[in-house]
Amino acid sequence: MPLTHYLDLSRYYAKRLSIFILFFLYASLSYAELVIQVEFSDGTSEGFNDPTSVAAVGGNTATTLGGQRRAALNAAIAILEKTLSSTQPIEITATFSNLGGGSHDALLASAGTNTLHFDFDHAPYPSTYYVAALANKLAQQDLDPDQADIFADFNADIDSNGTLGDSSWYYGLDGHPSGTDIDFMSVALHELLHGLGFISLVDVTTGKKFSGRNDIFSYFLDRLNATPSAFNDMTNKQRISAATATGFLHWIGDTTQINSSVLTAGVTGTRVHIYAPDPIEEGSSLSHFSDTLAPNNLMEPTYTEAHHSLGIAAAVLSDIGWGNLADLSVTLKNQETTPVMQQAFTLDFSIRNLGEQTANSVVFHYKLPSGLSLTNSTPGQGSCSTTDDELVCSLGAITTQQTIHILLTTQATNAQTIALNASVSGDIVDGDIANNTLANTLMINNNQQINNNNDTPVETRFGSGTMHWIVLIELCGFAIMRQFFVRRSFKIY
């Protein structure tokens, strides 16, 4: 039996993490398939079991209020199951409660981990707290089999008149709430991410670490230009100060930094800003991204619009230990045939997912080079279309370690050096974006006899290819020329 330490937080955290809506603020506020099991703990005829008849909405065809609530939560859970991996199922208890609220602001929901664990088998950092779901994944066992990993409680009063005015929960599955209604799926995703570890355990009012230990989320908080800069290394007093250092408290995990270029605001260099308002907002400070992020993201402290994607928060989950989520790469297979001007030849692009998770909505871009016409494109899956200067292939989902080939039949007008540029992206956070782009050069031969007479002795080819020889020296230099002699072929690097 491994040494397992945990703390029961179900009461301590019952209301700690929350998402608020502020209507007067119009500003924007593994390989192992993961299984998430949810237990709806409401009483008969309440909350997730409410039998009130309702009309279908936004693709949610359940016929009762409780049924639509369950379907919407399950749809949010399905997004997480597609994004994360763990050999250990995650157990969630979900309820609706009357959490009240005014006509302009209200608590939408709260959620968190039921237990915290440290120094379990395979724990990446010593004496450091991890939420239950993540600790179970890393330990590859259920460290606390007697209770659920995450609790989530949603405010039933949002559906009653008065609370948030006319606004109600939107239980549609399409992310298009009408009017001022609030997208339940988005709020559920937000809350569950807190339960999966998007949370600092530091008490923002005292600066104290929870039970005197580090937590893995706070490990990646850093105050720019401070000494010490690492949040976990600070004194309590320094942490209190850092928690209100608006714009200077940043996330410094590697995966988030290499993906932060998706943001146009709320970043300093590659460092994404953490929510650090002055004065402190208990329950919101530290455990969210800054509300200045653009485009808006799921894990900002205030609900503003529907988000059915984890956004840059997926990179944070990767940093804290959820693993390399997905890693798309594009390569061009070495060509063993010599591209010859005015003869068709094939470019074979390989799109591979090197990560641990499925990459969704993958798109391949290939810039159409001048001097090289494209006569046919054959993707291994999905479809391709061309614009003025680009081939775009929508490939759909690429599972872990899967490779999709895209074969392009091309033909060059003249002997020349052609620049090839391609890229691949997806609706994912990518573990390594350096391999998402490709820039190669391609030598086009002008000696049409080379391909036509493969058995012709080398001497003969050169005898009839004097002009080509000269062109090669000019274009390609000695290394390629030598390769030409020996192998009668060019590689594309």
Give the residues lining the site for Zn ion (CB under 5 A): 19
Closest CB to Zn ion among residues 29, 226? 29
Least separation in angstroms between residue 153's CB and Zn ion is 13
Which single residue is written with the structure tokens 């002009």? 467
Q: Distance (Å, rounded) from C-alpha 415 to C-alpha 400?
A: 39
Cβ closer to Zn ion: 137 or 194?
194
Q: Minimum distance between the CB of residue 199 and Zn ion, rounded to whole angstroms?
A: 8
Neighbours of 56 (CB within 10 A): 12
Specify the 3-state DSSP secondary structure of 59: coil
Contacts of 150 (CB under 8 A, 6+ apart): 90, 91, 92, 93, 111, 112, 113, 114, 131, 132, 133, 192, 195, 196
* Cβ–Cβ under 8 Å, residues 184 and 167: no
Q: What is the DSSP letter of 418?
A: E
Nearer to Zn ion, 199 or 347 (CB): 199
Place of tokens 């989902």: 397
What's the min distance (Å) between Cβ of 288 and Zn ion? 5
Amino acid making up residue 392 = V
Q: Judged by CB, which is closer to Zn ion: 19, or 77?
A: 19
Nearest C-alpha neighbor of 271 from the set 204, 316, 226, 209: 316
Q: How far is the CB of 19 from Zn ion (least distance, A)?
A: 4
First-to-last CA distance in the chain? 52
Nearer to Zn ion, 290 or 324 (CB): 290
Nearer to Zn ion, 92 or 408 (CB): 92
State the nearest-atom distance from the C-beta of 309 to Zn ion, in Å: 16
Bridge partner list, 379: 406
Asked whether the beta carbons of 411 and 375 are under 8 A apart, the reply is: yes
Q: Which residues of 27-45 are buried (b: 16+ CB within 10 A; e: fewer)?
A: eebbeeebebebebbbeee
| φ, ψ of residue 119 in degrees (nearest 5) | 50, 35
Instruction: Please report how close the Cβ of residue 432 comes to Zn ion at its closest, in angstroms.
Output: 29
Q: In the complex, what is the shortest distance from the CB of residue 106 to Zn ion, in angstroms, rounded to a whole number?
A: 14
Q: Which is nearer to Zn ion, 19 or 148 (CB)?
A: 19
Nearest distance from C-beta of residue 109 to Zn ion, angstroms: 9
- Per-residue burial over 103-129, b = 16 or more CB atoms within 10 Å of its CB, e = otherwise: eebbbbbbbbbbbbbbbbeebeeeebb
Nearer to Zn ion, 197 or 355 (CB): 197
Q: Report the residue number whose CB is nearest to Zn ion.
A: 19
Q: Cβ 101 to Zn ion, closest distance in Å?
A: 16
Q: Which is nearer to Zn ion, 301 or 321 (CB)?
A: 301
Which CB atom, from 50 or from 319, has the smaller least distance to Zn ion?
319
Helix (H) or strand (E) holding 359, with range, is strand 359-367
Question: CB of 241: closest distance to Zn ion in angstroms?
Answer: 23
Rg of the chain over CA atoms, in angstroms? Answer: 28
Q: Whose Cβ is closer to Zn ion: residue 249's or residue 450's?
A: 249
Smallest distance, Å, CB 111 to Zn ion? 8
DSSP string, 207-243: -PPGGG-EETTGGGEEETT-SS-BGGGS-HHHHHHHT
Tell me how far apart the alpha carbons of residues 341 and 445 are, in angstroms, rounded to a whole number.
6
For residue 325, the surrounding DSSP H or E stretch is none
